[in-house]
Structure 1
Amino acid sequence: MIGAYYDTVFNAAQGQGLSIETAADHAATSFLDGKPSGQGKRKCSAADRHAAFWSSHFLRALPAQAWQQESLSLALARYLGQDRVACPEIVAHVAMLAPDVLQQAARHAGLVLRQASPRWLEIEALADSQPGDFSEFVQVFRIFKEAHQLRLDEVEHLREPLAKLTPLDLLAYTSLYAFEHLLPDLLEGGSAPDTQETWDAVEDILTWKLATCDAASLRLTDTTIAASLRQHLTPFLFPSLEAPGPRHDLYAGFTALLDAQIELNAFINRSAEAFSYDGGIRFVRQGERLEIMEVDAQARAAWRSDGDKLNRLHQYWLYRGMDALMASHDLLALVSPAHLEANLQAFAKAMGTWLRLQEVYGIAEQVRTEAGSAVDVFRALLATELMTAFYIEDFLRPYHQHLQQLGHPWLTLGRLAFGGLLQSDMQNRFPITWSDRSAKIARITPWTATAEHPQGQARAAEAILDFWTSDWSALAERLREGDAALRPRWQERPVLKMGRHLFQLPWMMAMQNNATAAVNNLRRLGARRNEAREETRRIEARLGMLFEQRGFRVLVGHEFAAGMGDEEDAGEIDLLCALEGHLLVLELKSTYQRRSMKDAWMHRTSTLRKAGWQLHRKVPAVRHALQHDASLRQALALPPGAEPQITAWIVDTSIEWNHQAFRGFLKILLEEIQIALRDDRRWLNDPEGLFRTAGAGDVAMRTDTDAKPIDTLYPDGFSARKFIEVVESAAVWAAAA
């Protein structure tokens, strides 16, 4: 048993002369960081830590102001977010002492969507004994519960008419919907602001179907594929008086379910999760309804600004990819002259994403797929970009032309499909494409061509296919068993395996962001790959090289020498960079690209919170080491006796919470530091206007390599002091002067 571990931490901190609030912060931080991890050979579970922490004596003696600290509030949110350990007396205690902290913890625990939890019942039981705001808070939760249940019931009701459809049947109706509602505006150069919401809702519907379908419905053959499409797709494309007509009832049922799923998801994301994790707003009850009141306009503006910056980074890496492509005669020689502009775009996008994966995420030239094959990452990126180019040129552009002539999506799809059947090689131009594995490998093989293998390699194509494939039979089995492990979003692995056949959706491949798909394929789904630790080392080393090119003396992964006081407790220093009397202490964090406020909040209160605490311990340790370790000063070229000016940053690969402080230390985007060191922010500002005039999926390629920088971050020359000013003032994001 852990016993009095947290009381011991608290007492030790007080023994060092720290205040009761700071001592409580130390104990709560240990709990949040998963300490202790074990005792002897026995590993401590989360339930063990909860039981030990909430039975700690010091908690009952804390003043109200101690509970106002973020660490105590987050610890309470952790308690309310689990159901295994019960300690209702601590809930009642905090309700009396600091009711606002309990309310905040209940929000952050996501209890608004988990009101059957025994933890919420502990809070709800206090409503009658707690006057004023606390009772009002419970009423707000009840309104959320009713609204949530209403939407859940609607989705459940609308699923019933579609219960007997197979996953392939649903893909048919999904594709019909996409060509009717999503593509026309995009093809006209406009935008469909709810596209991602629609995709997410479709993914939820397909997840429901995979979790409930008969396993046999995923073991598809040519016969079962033909039967499904004959009933659910081709009657829309080729109406006939002799054959059964289109199932407009099922299509209408799918559309209604999709609308209800979008509404449910919007309620969860914009209301329930906003209530739980968005500190910039407050929900106010007006009778039986809730109104949103903005309480921190600056925080909400920062969230939107981060999204804009992420879009600008996509532009930046495409410009980098263009330059790298134009400088590589070997790669240019591989670009097919057919659809030259589209293929140049594909190569440039793949090169830009490859540079980003190397420089930001430390990805090696080859990684292992889940199937065990070694895949060339650049070739995998190129393959998916060429797929996208193919679908744009051979599906979407002809569809757009036919749509302008015929004016109806079904007639247009029929014309497109019929045109493919008339070609000598019987091209599949249906809104769903499929083939067996060997045919797909043969189609990808030419895209793996190199100077050494001008015809490509089948083995390389097979590995690429493994990298991008989601096995729906295996996924369905996991869902049926209630496996809550990470599962691929369909954009992250867009080749869908059912039986021996592989399916793709041309409209999805043409619209999706392949760069984000690749990053999250490797960093979200593949976070526990064997290569992940080495990738982190590679990120540190490559960033260190950029600093060295600017004249810094750099130590990567520095560990303090034994016997140097308390420095061993500080752990490893990711990067130490010294120049001109300045010393940078950098703590690097590498994760994936998030989409929701909840995910961003979790990142803020776990990874970034911990990084702030790490720097809180490491910076004093660095100061102490510089005073007592001459070899460290020598390695950093720091003259004896001179105290360097220390600046410490959390350097993160995620855009969220950029330039916010954690325990007093700024969190800076890794790419922002790289751009500041390279002094190429011009590419963030779309210097050639490629993105201001391009339509959906289009970027006009330039073919010159003589573009000159139009601005610099260092008009008076680079210096350590100016570099720090540039980073901390966010000058990288400013438009050119």
Structure 2
Amino acid sequence: MNNYYKNKYETLLKKEFSSEVSIKEIFNIYLDDKPKSLKKMERRDLFWSFIESLNLNNYFNSLEFRLCIKKAFNEHYIFKNEFIFTIVSIEKKIFLDAIKYSKIFLKKSDLNFINIKNYYDEKSIEQEFFLTCEVISNKYDYLLEKKEKALVRLNSYAYLNLLCSIGLYLMKHVSDNTIIQNYELNGSILSEILKDRLKTKDKKKGEYQYEESAIKVIDLISPKKNYDELNRLEDIVKIYKEFHLFKENEISTFCFDDNFAFDLKDKSLNLNVIDISKYNKWLNDNNKIDKFFLYYLEYAVYLSKELLQENTFGTEENNIINKEAFIQARALALILKEIYGIEDDLSISDNIAIPIFDTLHSFSNLNIFHKYYCVDNYLKKLESYNWVDAYEKFFCEGFIQGKQRLPIIIANQYDFSNNSNNGDPLFSKLVRNNVEDFYTYDLKKIVSNKKLKVPSIFEKPLLKLDNMVFTFPFLIGLQNVNTSVINNILNIHYKRTKFRKDEVQISEKKLATLFEKLGFNVKANYMLPFSEEYEVGDIDLICEKDGCLFVLELKSTYIRTSFENIWNYRTSILRKASNQLRKREKLINRLIEEENKLFLESFNKPNQIFSLIIDTSFEFDHELINDYLKISMFEIISLLIEEDKVLYPHGFRVDSFIKNINENIFWKEVIKIENVLAKEENINYIISREY
């Protein structure tokens, strides 16, 4: 039978690739779901048929091969005992790592896990690992059973009742949510609860009507009248939170963080950090995104200084908050333009495009308005009253002023877009409605179309139920608008592939222009001679100056929040990027060695080649990914500013540019990021074996 992977491997060997490089390329091809012409299960069977026919050696003791086994587990490919024996003889931890990466140990009935465990038990090796898996799995099953019981109680809510209870919950716990970690955790839990509830149809038959629902909402958002439903939700949140934290902390740490060691005790399992400095780097990388947002906020203030000083924005009463909303929107517009290549209009589909600044400004207005008039106002009342009495004062004050001071606000669909834009005649009603749709989480559409990507209430904070839209002032008023919008564009609207490619190209052209202004010879989307033979595709950006050739692989990704997603990002997107750079570097070296005429017509013979991964994200910043350095788009743009005297006291020079990258000068000297130091006792985990 013709086997694509076998043929490919033999072709690579004929091209004088080493056996090690050739087999690693086969691993990457399989991991990248290639060839696309084959169905998933065909690819799986052909790949493993080829691998099992080889004489395995130490080339297989690699991360890529472990990822291949993880993929096989997920695709339910059952390994034979002879193969298990062969792999264990190479390195006994290969299967253990793949078990962790795939989390198959959480399914006690998984055949691969049973077979591998039995083999290791027979040989009396790595028994502590499998005992650890058992401890974690038992705790997981215990918490999952609690969650499933809570789900029965959750499904007793009608959709409208649940939304009102969520609004009350957010209001009651607003003090806790002013701490960003608590806000993000509670928002994630409530998103998960809403997602689970939407898996089954609503208790109410027929559509909700605005007038009828508005009257009902008044009762449902009364703490005294809705006491039982709110208590029920708080119980459900507590159970969901316990399950969520166990998955995000203990399970993710065990499965994806090799900087933690497990230590099995009589009554507990301890997960202890190995190198505290690595953990501190992780914390500091997370702080970079806050510094990034602050940088653009200050930049927006600088650009708008005269405008802010010379004008009143709206009424005198709202002047300050309107200016804050304007600056917040302008800062985000600058980020989207300079980092993500999104200018003027944001294309959602072939027929829908929305004006980017007005889209940002409308939501920024809502965010700042709820922050000042709801969150801050209510928090001040909590200083003197319990939460129920504070709510009554808050509500009555709004009633007297003719304002909606409530934990949830109900409106007809498209009231938000028309009110937030004040019916701006510059934009048609259709455009204003499309702006609202961009932020709207259509609950019943998610129920009826299982293929839709389910957003979080951070990414789409306007919740649509039939022809009504609900907003949570105590969610929106504390929201990080930057993260919300970026993830809405890049994560939820992931089917914008065609438009996203155009935006990435705009971003590439802007970066190319910065290099050209500094005297670099620059080529964008450059195809090397023999590119097809080496299957390297086009190079995003290749720049040359003073005997140095820079080969850049550019990526534009959303902001990840879970450790597992971040680990997947490294083992998928960054792995692919580093593999592409490896192949391109090999081809460039061949072209130089052979003095290829086509190549040397475009570039001088370089003394040094620097290959870099450039991404919009900050995860794994300044880390080597398979020997290739990864830095942020924000940093590379900033390093190309010749006028920066901290970076270039004597003007721009290529050797200074390289030094600034290698020594992380931008973050240390320009941004001056502070080092966060964690204490070991605050980050180690203890899982009790008794519960």
TM-score when normalising by structure 1: 0.85
Displacement after TM superposition at 1:92 (Å): 4.5
Contact 2:159 2:202 (8 Å CA) reproduced? no
Cα distance in 1, alignment partners of residues 481 and 214 from structure 2: 30
* Structural mapping, 1:537-616, within 5 Å: 537-561=505-529, 569-616=535-582
Number of equivalent positions: 668
Deviations 1:348-379 (A, max 9, x none): 11111111111211123212336943211111
Cα distance in 2, alignment partners of residues 336 and 538 from structure 1: 38
Match of 1:132 in 2: 125
For residue 146 of structure 1, what is the amino acid of its counterpart? N
Higher relative contact order (CA 8 A, sep 6+): 2
Matched, 1:422 2:388: no
Match of 1:412 in 2: 390
Contact 1:324 1:351 (8 Å CA) reproduced? no
Contact 2:378 2:394 (8 Å CA) reproduced? yes
* Structural mapping, 1:200-349, within 5 Å: 200-214=188-202, 216=204, 219-226=207-214, 228-234=216-222, 236=223, 245-326=224-305, 337-349=316-328
Matched, 1:71 2:64: yes
Distance 1:402 1:128, change over 3 A: closer
Displacement after TM superposition at 1:154 (Å): 1.7
Matched, 1:666 2:629: yes
Displacement after TM superposition at 1:230 (Å): 4.3
Identify unmatched segments of 5+ residues in structure 2: 673-691
Cα distance in 2, alignment partners of residues 393 and 329 from structure 1: 19
Matched, 1:474 2:445: yes
Match of 1:9 in 2: 8
Displacement after TM superposition at 1:200 (Å): 1.0
Deviations 1:16-52 (A, max 9, x none): 55554333223222222223222xxxxx122111101
Cα distance in 2, alignment partners of residues 606 and 18 from structure 1: 23
Contact 1:169 1:228 (8 Å CA) reproduced? no
Deviations 1:693-725 (A, max 9, x none): xxxxxxxxxxxxxxxx8x621112211110111
Distance 1:67 1:418, change over 3 A: same
Displacement after TM superposition at 1:336 (Å): 5.4
Deviations 1:34-71 (A, max 9, x none): 23222xxxxx12211110111115654112x2221122
Cα distance in 2, alignment partners of residues 569 and 46 from structure 1: 21
- Specify the SS of the correspondent of 2:631: strand
Displacement after TM superposition at 1:225 (Å): 2.0
For residue 446 of structure 2, what is the amino acid of its counterpart? L
Cα distance in 2, alignment partners of residues 542 and 336 from structure 1: 39
Matched, 1:102 2:85: no
Match of 2:36 in 1: 37
- Specify the SS of the correspondent of 2:566: helix
- Specify the SS of the correspondent of 1:523: helix
Matched, 1:170 2:158: no
For residue 416 of structure 1, what is the amino acid of its counterpart? F
Contact 2:191 2:456 (8 Å CA) reproduced? yes
Distance 1:363 1:215, change over 3 A: farther
* Structural mapping, 1:499-518, within 5 Å: 499-518=466-485
Cα distance in 2, alignment partners of residues 73 and 82 from structure 1: 14
Cα distance in 2, alignment partners of residues 313 and 86 from structure 1: 46
Contact 2:259 2:275 (8 Å CA) reproduced? yes
Displacement after TM superposition at 1:544 (Å): 0.8
- Specify the SS of the correspondent of 2:417: helix
Displacement after TM superposition at 1:291 (Å): 0.6
For residue 625 of structure 2, what is the amino acid of its counterpart? F
Cα distance in 1, alignment partners of residues 112 and 212 from structure 2: 48
Cα distance in 2, alignment partners of residues 433 and 420 from structure 1: 13
Identify unmatched segments of 5+ residues in structure 1: 39-43, 237-244, 681-708
Distance 1:111 1:418, change over 3 A: same
Match of 1:714 in 2: 648
Cα distance in 1, alignment partners of residues 340 and 618 from structure 2: 14
Cα distance in 2, alignment partners of residues 608 and 36 from structure 1: 20
Matched-pair identity in %? 22
Displacement after TM superposition at 1:267 (Å): 0.3
TM-score when normalising by structure 2: 0.90
Match of 1:618 in 2: 584
Contact 2:642 2:651 (8 Å CA) reproduced? no
Match of 1:24 in 2: 23
Match of 2:409 in 1: 433
Distance 1:299 1:228, change over 3 A: farther
Deviations 1:600-638 (A, max 9, x none): 1111111111111111111232344456455654555x4
Cα distance in 2, alignment partners of residues 565 and 601 from structure 1: 30
Tell me how large the CA RMSD over aligned residues is.
Answer: 2.7
